[in-house]
A and B are shown apart, each in its own frame.
Chain A
Amino acid sequence: MSAATRTRPAPASTRTAGGVRESPLSRAAAMLVMGVFTLYFLVPIWWLLVSATKDRGQFTSTNPLWFADMNLVENVSALLRYDGGIFVRWMGNSVAYTAGGAFLATLLAAMCGYALAKYRFLGREAVFNVVLGGVLVPATALALPLFLIFSQVNLTNTFWAVFLPSLVSPFGVYLTRIFAAASVPDELLEAARLDGSSEVRTFFTVSVRLMFPALVTVFLFQFVAIWNNFFLPLIMLRDEAVFPVTLGLYSWNTQVNQIPELRGYVLVGALLSIVPLIVTFLLLQRFWRNGLGAGAVK
């Protein structure tokens, strides 16, 4: 799961050294298991894609896993026009929460993890252990306390109510610390210091580059976490204008019984809402893989 564990050279060496070839049977079994899981993950997306192309009558009456008449364009344009284009606004909000939040969260996590890995100071391990404890507390459990705290400072129902809590990523700190310890050599920092570079400059010009694969991983994790964040906005937000797309679609979905045309909008909206995730993954995957390779050679 984490880049840090994968970059250990051990798996690569056993593969080249080990002469044991797997039997065709066990390979087939492995393929079968993977095939089943692939289906398990892809069928719902396929269903979503197919459903989004149908009009309301055909949605219930035709085969759920195959196309009927192609109505995708009509459905999408109806969704974008519904209620004064509120869906577009929600997508925009989600992008703002997510891109900004993930970027800043990654930066903070990188600084924190780097400091924990490279500087010796009193209470370092204590700080790190507290952060590790943070990994264990689910974000959901923090939503209500956060609401009560934000209520005290009158920040509920604002952009900040969702944005600020997403800037923290304990897992990111953990990952960057491990990665900084492994991939940023102390000698290099020493050399930078001798050349007169300040600590901040060293961090941004040298260390960040060396930690880049880990940072991409942290960014991706945080991106997905914020994009899919639902419970915190549900508790914090009342104003439709600041909803992220997850909460907006959920609100619509609770009203499907009353306004049945919303069902179609929820489906098409759900399809559109996963597009940014896919795009981000495809774009950043390259850096990720580069990083894995770089680690293996070292």
Chain B
Amino acid sequence: MRVTTAAAGVGTLTALALLVAGCSSSPDSAAPGGDAAGACEPSGGAVELTFTTWIPGIEEVVDVWNAANPDIQVTVQTGPNGNGGTYQNFFNQLRAGNAPDLGQIEYDALPNFRVQDGLTDLGACEEVMAAQDLFVDWTWDQVSFGEEGHAYAVPQDAGPMALFYRQDLFEANGIPVPTTWAEYAAAAEQVRAAGGYITNFSQSDVNQFAGLVWQAGGTWFANDGEEWSVDLAGPESTQVAEYWQDLVDRDLVSSVPPWTSEWDNAYNTGAAWTWVSAVWGANSIASGAPDTAGAWAVAPMPQWEAGDAVAGNWGGSSTAVFRGTEHPYEAAKFALWLNTSDEALTLLNQGANLYPATTAGADLPALADGVEFYGGQAIYDVFAEASTQVPAGFTWGPTMTQVYADVSDGFKGAVSGRGTLLEALEAAQESTVSTLRSQSIPVAG
């Protein structure tokens, strides 16, 4: 599941709450790394677990588990999505000592929970460590933070990226489907000449941009076990920023903000022709642009070097076991079943459109069929391929909400002619370092 832009109203409210909370207590351990894995023994007897998630229809999936496991009964709790308030609730609950046993956390929010010491290290749970090979490498990398023998959550779903495009319009105008970013820019000129925009530049949802940087092989953060380093404006980010700056400057991409009805309408009326997006985007187009059914197709993401095969990732979440649970073994067992068993993955895919993080998940029968909206193309084959092509090693930071807000502020300015995308990243680099410092999180540079 992906991060959505946090609702501004709640943002200010939670900021206020944070302020209040800040007076009463502060996180005990600011630096991650090196904590010993706790014990992971069966509790014996009947166990009741609580699981907080905002996946729609999750109750049905959990019912299947409860029916088969009378000794481990799971109760679902729900709420708005993570940035919409549930993460803040998790932190409040951790502070009050009544956090649920399990919770859904997106990959980009995991470091924040890790830094605030909110997660149980599942490294001691043999079943979990044995399951490592079931998951696509990079998803495991996201939950282990690259540390051998540790796992701070179980990967749930992934958002491998590809290129959605209007097959009919590309064909009618004789434009070849771009396979490299250079071809994509050339196609953008032709699309503009034909009266459309090849896509919009996502000024307000920075996650898409992060996915593009991810594809280019960059990373925004790193942690060597001692301190964090921030690299928002590294060479790869610079490359991606300059590429899109050029398209913005030449008016080859529109500035319609994503997830608005205006944006839906651009796709629905054929004003926008492509979208570089994640697997869950298939649903967004299908419902936002119902009049264009059958006219879309999916191709692999354009590459920086011709002949390469690298994909980015946008979104995805994990199932974490919170610190303070009395039943880490049972919680881990449930998390594994939820995210690796065929029956759970199939239900999650049908009910909530989740794309599994396991290698075997890509072969689910539910993902094999052609999709009518995409002219019958078996689009999930493209994403299955893409999922294995996402580079490992992209690391999120502990203050992503602030990073997204700062980058997006800069991007909005750049799109309306104030500054450039690169300058926005450089400014966010500085503000991120100072935010980390102000939270007493050790940071280099």
State the A residues within 8 Å of B (CB).
Answer: 56-57, 59-61, 83, 140-141, 143-145, 147-148, 151-152, 154, 156-157, 231, 234-235, 237-240, 247, 250-251, 253-261
> Quick check: A238 and B77 within 8 Å, CB to CB?
yes
CB atoms of A258 and B280 under 8 A apart? yes
Known: A61-B269, A140-B16, A141-B20. Contact between A238 and B353, CB under 8 A?
A: no
A60, A145, A157: which contacts B268 (Cβ < 8 A)? A60
The CA of A235 and the CA of B85, in the complex, are separated in Å by 8
Tell me, rounded to whole Å, the shortest Cβ–Cβ distance linking A53 to chain B: 15
User: How far is A83 from B2 in the complex, measured between Cα atoms in Å?
Assistant: 22
Report chain A residues within 8 Å CB of B16.
Answer: 140-141
A152 to B95, CA, bound (A): 11
CA of A222 to CA of B280 in the docked complex: distance in angstroms?
Answer: 43
Per a CB cutoff under 8 Å, which of B54, B89, B268, B290 touches A255? B54
Q: Provide the B260-291 mask, 1 if CB < 8 A to any CB of A, else 0.
A: 01101100110000000000100110011011
Distance to closest chain B CB from A263 (angstroms): 8
Q: Are B92 and A57 in contact (CB under 8 A)?
A: no
Q: Are A144 and B280 in contact (CB under 8 A)?
A: no
What is the CB-to-nearest-CB distance from A84 to chain B, in angstroms, rounded to a whole number? 9
List, in ascending order, chain A residues with CB within 8 A of B93's CB: 151
Q: Across the two chains, which residue of chain B brings its CB closest to A254?
A: B84
Name 13 extra pairs, CB < 8 A, besides A140-B17, A234-B85. A60-B265, A61-B291, A83-B56, A143-B17, A145-B20, A148-B95, A157-B77, A231-B17, A239-B78, A250-B84, A253-B7, A255-B80, A259-B353
A90 to B264, CA, bound (A): 29
Say yes or no: B13 contacts A258, CB within 8 Å: no
B287 engages A261 (CB within 8 Å):
yes
Task: Decide if A238 touches B78 in the complex (CB within 8 Å).
Answer: yes
A82 to chain B, nearest CB (A): 10
For the complex formed, measure the closest distance between the CB of A48 and the CB atoms of chain B, giving whole angstroms. Answer: 14
Residue of A nearest to B262 (CB): A60
Which residues 270-314 of B sit at the A interface, judged by CB distance below 8 A? 280, 283-284, 287-288, 290-291
The reply on B97 being an interface residue by CB < 8 A is: yes
Chain A CB within 10 A, most for which of B54, B80, B93, B353: B80
Residue interface mask B88-102, A partner, CB < 8 A = 1: 110011011110100
Contact of B186 with A by CB under 8 A:
no
* Chain A residues with CB under 8 A of B56: 83, 255, 258-259
Cβ–Cβ contact A251 & B283, under 8 A: no
**Which one of A144, A154, A234 lies within 8 Å of B80 (CB-CB)?**
A234
Is the pair A257, B79 in contact by a Cβ cutoff of 8 Å? no
Judged by a CB distance under 8 angstroms, whether B325 is at the interface is no
CB pair A60–B264 under 8 Å, yes or no, is yes
Residues on A with beta carbons closer than 8 Å to the beta carbon of B283: 258-260
The 6 lowest CB-CB distance pairs between A and B, nearest first, are: A238-B77, A151-B96, A260-B287, A254-B84, A254-B80, A254-B81
Contacting pair B268 A231 (CB below 8 A): no
A56→B259 contact, CB < 8 A: no
Knowing A61-B269, A144-B20, A144-B21, say if A258 contacts B1 (CB, 8 Å). yes
**Smallest beta-carbon distance A230→chain B, Å:** 8
Contacting A238 at CB < 8 Å: which of B21, B89, B97? B89
Q: How far is the CB of A129 from chain B (nearest CB, A)?
A: 23
Contacts of B83 in A (CB 8 A): 254
Tell me which residues from 362 to 416 in chain B have a Cβ below 8 Å from any Cβ of chain A.
none
* Distance between Cα atoms of A83 and B280 in the complex (Å): 21
How many contacts between A and B, using CB within 8 angstroms? 112
Within 8 A of A (CB), among B1-30: 1-2, 4, 7, 10, 13, 16-17, 20-21, 24
A238, B10: Cα distance in complex, Å: 17
Q: A251 near B288 (CB under 8 angstroms)?
A: no
Q: Which residues of B contact A247 (CB under 8 A)?
A: 79-80
B259, A234: Cβ atoms closer than 8 Å: no
Contacts of A157 on B, CB cut-off 8 Å? Answer: 77
Question: What residue of chain A has the Cβ atom nearest to residue B77's Cβ?
Answer: A238
B52-A260 in contact (CB<8A)? no
CA distance A66 to B17 in the complex (A): 40
Q: A56-B290, A251-B79, A254-B4 are in contact. Are A144 and B84 (CB under 8 A)?
A: no
Most B CB within 10 A of own CB, among A151, A154, A258, A259: A258
CB distance from B286 to the nearest CB of A (A): 8
CB distance from A180 to the nearest CB of B (A): 34
Cα A250 to Cα B77 in complex, Å, equals 16
Q: Do the beta carbons of A61 and B268 come within 8 Å of each other?
A: yes
Contact (Cβ within 8 A) A251 B77: no
B84 touches A251 (CB 8 A): yes
Which residues of chain A come closer than 8 Å to B81, judged between CB atoms? 251, 254-255
Does B182 count as interface, using CB distance less than 8 angstroms? no
Q: Are B80 and A256 in contact (CB under 8 A)?
A: no
Q: Which chain A positions have C-beta within 8 A of B264?
A: 60
Contact of A260 among B17, B78, B284, B291 (CB under 8 A): B284
B129 proximity list for chain A (CB < 8 A)? none
Residue in contact with B92 in the complex, picked from A147, A152, A256, A257, CB distance below 8 Å: A147
A290 to B10, CA, bound (A): 39
Tell me which residues across on chain B come within 8 A of A261, comparing CB atoms: 287
A109 to B250, CA, bound (A): 64
Would you call B222 an interface residue if the criterion is a C-beta within 8 Å of the partner chain's C-beta atoms?
no
Residues of A within 8 A of B280 (CB): 258
Residues in B with CB closer than 8 Å to A234 are 10, 79-80, 85, 89
The reply to whether A235 and B268 contact each other, CB–CB distance below 8 Å, is no
- CB A65 to nearest CB in B, in angstroms, measures 13
A280–B262 CA distance with the chains assembled, in angstroms? 36
In the docked arrangement, what's the CA distance between A145 and B269, Å?
50
Q: Which residues of B contact A59 (CB under 8 A)?
A: 261
Q: Tell which of A147, A254, A255 has the most Cβ of chain B within 10 Å.
A: A254
- The reply to whether A257 and B290 contact each other, CB–CB distance below 8 Å, is no
> Given the complex of chains A and B, what is the CA–CA distance between A294 and B136 in angstroms?
75
B247 at interface, CB cutoff 8 A: no
Q: Give min CB distance, B285 to chain A, whole Å.
A: 10
Contacts A57-B291, A235-B92 given; indicate if A240 touches B259 (C-beta within 8 A).
no
CB <8 Å contact, B98 and A156? yes
**Chain B 86-122 interface residues, beta-carbon cutoff 8 Å to A:** 88-89, 92-93, 95-98, 100
Is B47 interfacial (CB-CB < 8 Å)?
Answer: no
CA distance A154 to B96 in the complex (A): 10
Q: Which residues of B contact A148 (CB under 8 A)?
A: 24, 92, 95-96
Could you say which of B7, B52, B85, B259 has the most chain A C-beta atoms within 10 Å of its C-beta? B85
Name 7 interchain pairs, CB-CB below 8 A, sorted by A. Answer: A57-B268, A235-B17, A237-B79, A247-B80, A250-B85, A254-B84, A258-B280
